[in-house]
Each structure stands twice: as C-alpha cells, then as structure tokens.
C-alpha cells in the first residue's frame, strides 16, 4: 500500500496563530510589525511563516500570497478598521 493520495493544501490546515501571521503578510506588514501586533518576537513570526509555507507548499512569499489572496476572507482580521 502506497499511502493515501496527497490532498491539496488549505488554509484550514493552519493554526489560529499561523492565520494571524498570514493575515499580517497579506496586509504587507514586516515580520517585526506582525510580531509587535501579536505580542510575539519577530523570530517567532519567522518560524510561523516557515511552517505556513511548508504546510501550503509555497516555496516563496510570492507563491504564498498568490495562494492566500483569493481566500483572504477566511483569515481573521485582528487590526482595527
């Protein structure tokens, strides 16, 4: 048995914190700005970002944003309007 077929990555695979980091990236924030907004270090943001990219099979930030932007309504906005 070869194992189950690989399913397509989804934003549903992300943790709440990972979604918050992605939401910051979509808004054009730097890792440092995202960290300040979420109360975590920029290094922790980098770790979350790397995990997101691995989970969503996105080799670059551009690929990640191209995947996420059409689904951005699934991201929880934490910033004031």
pLDDT at 23 over 60: yes
pLDDT at 15 over 50: yes
Q: Over the stretch 24-60, which tens digit does the pLDDT of each residue have?
A: 999 999 999 999 999 999 999 999 999 999 999 999 9
**pLDDT reported for residue 57:** 94
| Number of helices (H), then strands (E), in the chain | 4, 0
SS (H, E, C) the chain: CCCCCCCCCCHHHCCHHHHHHHHHHHCCCCHHHHHHHHCCCHHHHHHHHHHHHHHCCCCCHHHHHHHHHHHHHHCCCCCCC
């Amino acid at each position: 048995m070869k194992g189950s077929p690989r399913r397509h990555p989804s934003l549903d695979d992300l943790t709440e914190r990972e979604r918050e980091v992605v939401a910051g990236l979509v808004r054009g924030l730097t890792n440092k700005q995202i960290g300040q907004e979420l109360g975590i270090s920029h290094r922790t943001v980098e770790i979350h970002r790397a995990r997101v990219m691995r989970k969503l099979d996105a080799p670059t930030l551009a690929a990640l944003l191209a995947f996420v932007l059409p689904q951005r309504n699934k991201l929880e906005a934490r910033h004031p309007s």
